[in-house]
Amino acid sequence: MSASGTAAAGQIEHMLRQVTPGRYDAYEALLAALAEPAGGRVWMLLWNGRPGTPDAQYGNLEVDGHGYAPAVTSAQELSASSWSRAHEVVSGLDIARALYPDRWGIWLNPHAPGGGVGIPWTDLRRIATGLDRMPAGPLRLSEPAIDIPQFYALLARNAHQTPAVRSLRRAWVQPALGAPYLAIGLDLYDTSRPSVDAVRAMMQQSIAAVPDGLPVSTVALSDEYDPVGMWLLAHARPFYDREAHAAPGAGGYGYPPAAGR
């Protein structure tokens, strides 16, 4: 391994030692070390096969109902683990891209005192797509308590004039690190470039009604890997629903009548 790769591995191990319950800043630093393009390598433990062979298969373990592939953070940790089967050295970015679509995380140094540290697939997705593009978990999600009817009314009117929009939902998101914000879930009929551009213009026209200092973000409900979007689909009723609005007896903007979806 190159000197830069050795240094990156050392950084991962250094940050791993800093992670303790509640130390979300240290955990974020660990994710950043794994995402480092010049290094961030891990030693993935193979249960079957050898690197590059058709029968190669990572090990697996389950924690609280979630799947993880075990890995170690250096050749020294590999030796300490007494792993006798094959292994594969890969970058944090590559393993994140490979595992998160199947909702698998990685578990670093499970042999270590204390059991090591698990990184769930949601955080592998953040590594794969950019840590600054998604909020730091674990997330606390709830219905918004802020009373901003003018914004919701304007957004609903503009959505009704934007044919690409099927419905809108909302959530209050409190990341582990960073300021809380209002998330608007966008349920679209299609995600073609013209539709996305029209929805972006809709949001820009509506954002003027948001009180100063209130962060607002959007999330595509078609993204089956976004934790905010998944929560919205499972727990939040639409505050604008084009099809309910068009149905006989539908009562204006806001929540659809009880008989609606």
Query: Last residue of a domain, which of 81, 107, 133?
Result: 133
Extract the tokens encoding 201.
Answer: 């213009």
| Tens digit of each residue's pLDDT (9 = 90 or more) over 24-65 | 999 999 999 999 987 789 999 999 999 989 999 999 999 999
Same domain, 57 and 129: yes
Could you tell me the residue range of the domain that residue 219 belongs to? 140-246
Are 120 and 209 members of one domain?
no
Same domain for 148 and 118, yes or no, is no
Residue 9 pLDDT level (bands cut at 50, 70, 90): low
Q: What pLDDT, in 10s, does the model give residues 151-173?
A: 999 999 999 999 999 999 999 99
Residues 30 and 119 in one domain: yes
Residue 251 lies in a domain: no
Do 234 and 171 share a structural domain? yes
What's the number of domains the chain is made of? 2
Question: 152 and 31 in one domain?
Answer: no
Determine, yes or no, domain membership for 260. Answer: no
Domain stops at, among 133, 156, 181: 133
Among 72, 105, 133, give the residue marking a domain's end: 133
Strand partners, 181: 173
Contact partners, residue 55, CB within 8 Å, separation at least 6: 48, 49
Say if residue 226 is in the same domain as residue 121.
no
CATH number of the domain within which 193 lies:
3.30.300
- Residue 70's DSSP bridge partners are 107
